[in-house]
């Protein structure tokens, strides 16, 4: 299949706002997609190249992409950034610059979808001292063979900014429509495989029965189930009959896969972090008594006081590429398990939480202060729960998780049967989409960050406010180091950034505001920390902000 066919579908999707029409367009393409491409086309429609859990990562930021575009168009980087500013995004800028450039090879050979994908694989596999040069050369060759419209979407895909408004829900519905299978069967299959390519191929080849036969696999991580913030303990107790309270540990969520003697660890972002945490791997081998997929929280601990350390210490472990064993001794981790997703040779996600917890207790042999079960208290007495909450805070943890013991596990969903309660004002995970160069004492640093939430209709991050408080001078340097490579263009002292960095932001309330594209603004926002354990896909959506705003209004009444 020619890549131009995929590019033409992108064009149609970009100008089509209605979800039903988008679904029809996607279903039409999937129905015409050859079997050998069904494994990659669903992801490409969402602007993704590899599954979230794949060890392959493109690893190209704006800088390397700009070098490639400048090379094939013959313009300077400043001229490219000016064009990006004028056109609104790098894809349109690349298209416009290529339209101006006469290329003898432009129409000599048409790009194929598989060829484009294989080029992406080569970029992801580039290694060694000159890996960046290899990546730029491969991308330059690819763009040089592309038509202007194809180049627009290739560059957008590289930066994970496709901007055609296709999210998982649309792909799910389109697979169901294209291959005449129920939506809930497609959704279920995706939940346990985490791969729309597998789902699409199975739906086409074997229909609903084939989808029902798909099984969870150890080594393929599931998206984590997400909680909601509870106004109070009493509010939850009034709604849930059978409830368990667990300590909410301030660490990094881990999904641990044990298959025989092999243990693999995946972060909340579904990135494999096995090599970074050899101590947890060894504890898991000893403590998990059978093949299983379990979930827990890894917490950085002060070796003297045994109190949890700041989140930044944890990130040092996850980022580390060298001296890993030494770092494990300097920053020891304690791991607390709270759920089991697979054990006894089958999925456990349909089981009620009380059964999953019982099974977890059966398959884990705790290692004291190293690899334990999350501390839990089952009660419907608010005073007992309050005492447990205070105990968690005194221990240095975040607060409590409140779980419905009769509920199943829904991967990737923010459910209404699991809550968290913390002693801080509301927080949101938002993406930094812009910044200002500082002045005075902040000269040389990027500060006053523009925050964005994802609009699921368009796939873009829309601004919801600006924040400049809560950041120390040391953090300003850290933020600048992280954000500087993501600069797309500058205008005066204002900088537009590729949306890649997620920050946790505390605020007092959500307000309506015409000042920002979203129509909302955060009152008294304050940066709490960078969340390197979260990707932009984990950030808050505009739709969720609307829900929180309406709930806030209801509470005010």
In order, the DSSP letters of 397-455 are --EEEEEETT----TT-EEEEEEEE-SSS-EEEEEEEEEEEB-GGGBTSEEEEEEEEE-
Q: Return d(Cα 404, Cα 362) in angstroms, integer.
A: 20
Q: Does residue 130 sit within a domain?
A: yes
Same domain, 412 and 468: no
pLDDT over threshold 80, residue 104: no
Range of the domain at 316: 226-421
Q: Does residue 208 sit within a domain?
A: no
Q: Are strands 414-421 and 226-229 parallel, antiparallel or unpaired?
A: parallel
Q: Does residue 479 sit within a domain?
A: yes
Sign of CA dihedral 448, 454, 460, 463: negative
Read off the pLDDT of residues 381-431 as tens digits, 9 standing for 90 and up.
999 999 999 999 999 898 999 999 999 999 999 899 999 988 755 789 999
Residue 536's CATH number: 2.40.50.140
Same domain, 432 and 396: no
Q: How many domains does the chain have?
A: 3
**Final residue of a structural domain among 358, 390, 421:** 421
Question: What does the CA dihedral 534, 56, 80, 93 come to, rounded to 10 degrees?
Answer: -90
Q: Are 291 and 260 in contact (CB under 8 A)?
A: yes
pLDDT over threshold 90, residue 212: yes
Same domain, 485 and 349: no
pLDDT over threshold 80, residue 82: yes
> Which among 380, 386, 27 has a CA at the least distance from the CA of 176?
27
Same domain, 406 and 263: yes
- Residues 6 or more apart in contact with residue 202 via CB below 8 angstroms: 189, 210, 211, 213, 214
Read off the pLDDT of residues 140-152 as tens digits, 9 standing for 90 and up.
999 999 999 999 9
pLDDT mean over 448-453: 93
Q: Return d(Cα 39, Cα 33) in angstroms, integer.
A: 10
Q: Which residue has 């641990």 as its token pair?
A: 256
Q: How far, CA to CA in Å, does 140 sit from each of 120, 134, 279, 457, 489?
A: 12, 10, 42, 31, 21
Structure confidence at residue 303 (pLDDT) = 81
Same domain, 264 and 359: yes
Q: State the chain's mean pLDDT as an integer.
A: 91
Q: Does residue 171 sit within a domain?
A: no
Model confidence band, residue 103 (pLDDT cutoffs 50, 70, 90): low
- Catalytic positions are 248
pLDDT over threshold 50, residue 557: no
Sign of CA dihedral 136, 142, 146, 152: negative
pLDDT over threshold 50, residue 508: yes
Model confidence band, residue 372 (pLDDT cutoffs 50, 70, 90): very high
Structure confidence at residue 232 (pLDDT) = 83
Residue 289's CATH number: 3.30.470.30
pTM, to two decimals: 0.85
Structure confidence at residue 266 (pLDDT) = 95
**Final residue of a structural domain among 421, 439, 472:** 421
Q: Return d(Cα 523, Cα 517) in angstroms, integer.
A: 16
**Final residue of a structural domain among 111, 133, 158:** 158
Which residues, in sequence order, are bridge partners of residue 337? 296, 373
Same domain, 153 and 266: no
Same domain, 277 and 412: yes
pLDDT mean over 111-139: 93
Which residues, in sequence order, are bridge partners of residue 371? 335, 367
pLDDT mean over 47-75: 90
Structure confidence at residue 544 (pLDDT) = 86
Structure confidence at residue 98 (pLDDT) = 93
Structure confidence at residue 138 (pLDDT) = 96
- 372 vs 58 pLDDT, higher one: 372
- What is the token pair recorded at 405? 């013991």
Weakest-pLDDT range from 12-26, 275-289, 520-534? 520-534
| SS3 assignment, position 97 | helix
Weakest-pLDDT range from 101-115, 120-134, 530-544? 101-115
pLDDT mean over 532-547: 88
Same domain, 410 and 432: no
pLDDT mean over 207-231: 93
Model confidence band, residue 533 (pLDDT cutoffs 50, 70, 90): confident
Q: Does residue 219 sit within a domain?
A: no
Q: Are 22 and 170 in contact (CB under 8 A)?
A: yes
Same domain, 62 and 47: yes
Q: Does residue 123 sit within a domain?
A: yes
Percent of the chain with pLDDT over 70: 97
Same domain, 239 and 323: yes
Q: Does residue 77 sit within a domain?
A: yes
Read off the pLDDT of residues 166-201 as tens digits, 9 standing for 90 and up.
989 999 999 999 999 999 999 999 999 999 999 999
Same domain, 394 and 433: no
Weakest-pLDDT range from 13-22, 86-95, 297-306, 416-425? 416-425
Q: Does residue 303 sit within a domain?
A: yes
Residue 84's CATH number: 1.10.3260.10
Structure confidence at residue 57 (pLDDT) = 86
Same domain, 442 and 396: no
Model confidence band, residue 277 (pLDDT cutoffs 50, 70, 90): very high
pLDDT over threshold 80, residue 322: no
């Amino acid at each position: 299949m020619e890549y131009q066919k995929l590019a033409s579908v992108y064009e149609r999707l970009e100008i089509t706002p209605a979800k039903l029409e988008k679904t029809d367009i996607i279903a039409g393409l999937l129905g015409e997609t050859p079997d050998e491409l069904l494994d990659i086309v669903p992801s490409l429609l969402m602007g993704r190249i590899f599954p979230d859990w794949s060890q392959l990562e493109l690893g190209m930021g704006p800088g390397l992409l700009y070098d490639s575009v400048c090379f094939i168009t013959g313009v300077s980087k400043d001229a490219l950034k000016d064009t990006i500013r004028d056109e609104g995004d790098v894809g349109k800028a690349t298209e416009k610059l290529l339209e101006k450039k006469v290329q003898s090879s432009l129409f000599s050979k048409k790009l194929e979808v598989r060829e484009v994908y294989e080029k992406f694989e080569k970029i992801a596999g580039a290694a060694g001292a000159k890996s960046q040069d290899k990546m730029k050369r491969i991308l330059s060759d690819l763009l040089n063979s592309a038509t202007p419209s194809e180049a627009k979407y290739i560059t957008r895909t590289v930066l994970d900014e496709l901007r055609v408004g296709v999210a998982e829900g649309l792909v799910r519905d389109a697979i169901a429509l294209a291959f005449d299978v129920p939506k809930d069967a497609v959704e279920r299959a995706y939940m346990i495989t985490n791969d729309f390519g597998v789902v699409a191929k199975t739906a086409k080849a074997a229909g609903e029965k084939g989808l029902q036969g798909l099984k969870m696999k150890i080594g393929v991580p599931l998206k984590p189930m997400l909680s909601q913030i509870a106004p109070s303990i009493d509010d939850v107790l009034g709604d849930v009959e059978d409830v368990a309270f667990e300590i909410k540990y301030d660490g990094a969520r881990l999904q641990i896969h044990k298959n025989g003697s092999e243990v693999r660890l995946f972060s909340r972002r579904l990135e494999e972090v096995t090599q970074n945490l050899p101590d947890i791997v060894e504890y898991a081998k000893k403590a998990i008594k059978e093949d299983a997929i379990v979930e827990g929280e890894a917490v950085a601990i002060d070796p003297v006081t045994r109190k949890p350390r700041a989140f930044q210490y944890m990130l040092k472990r996850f980022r580390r590429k060298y001296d890993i064993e030494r770092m494990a001794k300097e920053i020891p981790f304690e791991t607390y398990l709270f759920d089991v997703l697979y054990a006894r040779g089958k999925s456990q996600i349909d089981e009620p939480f009380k059964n999953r917890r019982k099974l977890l207790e059966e398959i884990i042999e705790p290692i004291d202060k190293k690899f334990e079960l999350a501390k839990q208290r089952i009660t419907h007495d608010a005073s007992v729960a309050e005492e447990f909450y205070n105990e968690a805070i005194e221990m240095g943890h975040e607060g409590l998780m409140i779980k419905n013991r009769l509920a199943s596990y829904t991967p990737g969903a923010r459910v209404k049967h699991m809550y968290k309660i913390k002693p801080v004002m509301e927080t949101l995970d938002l993406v930094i989409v812009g910044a200002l160069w500082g002045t005075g004492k902040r000269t040389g640093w990027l500060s006053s960050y523009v925050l964005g939430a994802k609009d699921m209709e368009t796939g873009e991050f829309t601004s919801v406010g600006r924040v400049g408080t809560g950041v120390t001078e040391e953090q300003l340097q850290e933020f600048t180091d992280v954000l500087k490579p993501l600069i797309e263009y500058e205008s005066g002292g204002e900088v537009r950034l590729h949306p890649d960095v997620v920050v946790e932001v505390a605020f007092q309330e959500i307000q309506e505001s015409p000042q920002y594209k979203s129509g909302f603004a955060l009152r008294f926002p304050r940066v709490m920390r960078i969340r390197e354990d979260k990707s932009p896909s984990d950030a808050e959506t505009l739709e969720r902000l609307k829900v929180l705003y309406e709930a806030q209004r209801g509470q005010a009444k």
